[in-house]
Amino acid sequence: MSVTDVDRRDDLLAAARDRDATVAFLQMGDPPLSLELTRLADLGVGDITLVGVNLGPLAPAHSWLRRIAGHWFRERAGLRPTLNVATRLVSLLGDLDATLTDCKPISGTEPGLTSTAWEGVTGHRRQVLVCRGPRCTARGGDETMRTLILALMEAGVGDNDVLVTHTGCQFPCNQAPVVSVQPDDVWYGDVDPAAARAIVTGHLVGGSPIESHRLPR
């Protein structure tokens, strides 16, 4: 369901192999759910059960799994498998099997991928770009992202104030994990959780960039 789960790909693949299952991602990972559903359907698989996995604290709501599956079901040309979705997310891989006892079918009447609430660009004043390239991820970019978002939530700052976005490589890899704040054109390096909290308090809430982790431009 989330970028954290992409980082845990090896664990997910191991759990899938034990259950004759496959792994797909809603965001930031390959294969995406829609392509994996198409692959399985083209192979003639007639019955598919989807279990949403969220191994981190920050994931889309469970409803997005049904939205994406419902969209695929409506758009599918040709034979469609029976799709069932577990009614709750799994946060511990050991709970995977228990979720299979309570599933609901996909009918194609699920809410779509658009909404009037998502029509316009948010009114955010700043956009925080958190690098999730290979080196930044290996050096703790996932914890950087989690800490930033949780600290913003604790401060009462939402998407209409600060929009936080995962990115690929931002290039000053030696300074990983890297975070940049736009349109301020302020770049930070070695952003561990403590630095992330300081950036939220000092820069994103207080309005003044912190100098301890700021990179020269």
Q: Is 176:189 a contact under the CB 8 Å cutoff?
A: yes
Q: Is 37:69 a contact under the CB 8 Å cutoff?
A: yes
Q: Is 185:217 a contact under the CB 8 Å cutoff?
A: yes
> pLDDT digit string (tens) for 66-101?
999 999 999 998 899 999 999 999 999 999 999 999
> pLDDT digit string (tens) for 7-18?
899 999 999 999
Q: CA-to-CA distance for 21 and 205, rounded, in angstroms? A: 45
Quote helix, strand, coil % in the chain, to nearest 5: 40, 15, 45
Confidence band of 172 (pLDDT split at 50, 70, 90): very high
23: buried, middle or exposed (CB in 10 Å: 19+, 13-18, 0-12)?
A: buried
CATH fold group of domain 126-205: Glutaredoxin (3.40.30)
Give the pLDDT score at 4. 86
Give the pLDDT score at 60. 87
User: Which residue stretches of 43-192 are H helix?
Assistant: 63-75, 96-99, 134-138, 141-154
Give the pLDDT score at 7. 87
> pLDDT digit string (tens) for 156-169?
999 899 999 999 99
> pLDDT digit string (tens) for 183-194?
999 999 999 999
56: pLDDT strictly greater than 90: no
Q: Where in the chain is the domain with CATH 3.40.30.10?
A: 126-205
> pLDDT digit string (tens) for 17-32?
999 999 999 998 999 9
- Interval 172-201 mean pLDDT: 98
- Interval 172-190 mean pLDDT: 98
Q: Is 130:152 a contact under the CB 8 Å cutoff?
A: no
In this structure, which amino acid lies at residue 197? R
Give the pLDDT score at 78. 86
- Interval 144-149 mean pLDDT: 94
58: pLDDT strictly greater than 80: no
Please give the share of the chain, as a percent, with pLDDT higher than 90.
89
The token pair that represents 81 in the structure block: 């498998």
Q: CA-to-CA distance for 107 and 99, rounded, in angstroms? A: 20
pTM (two decimals): 0.88
> pLDDT digit string (tens) for 116-143?
989 999 999 999 999 999 999 999 998 9
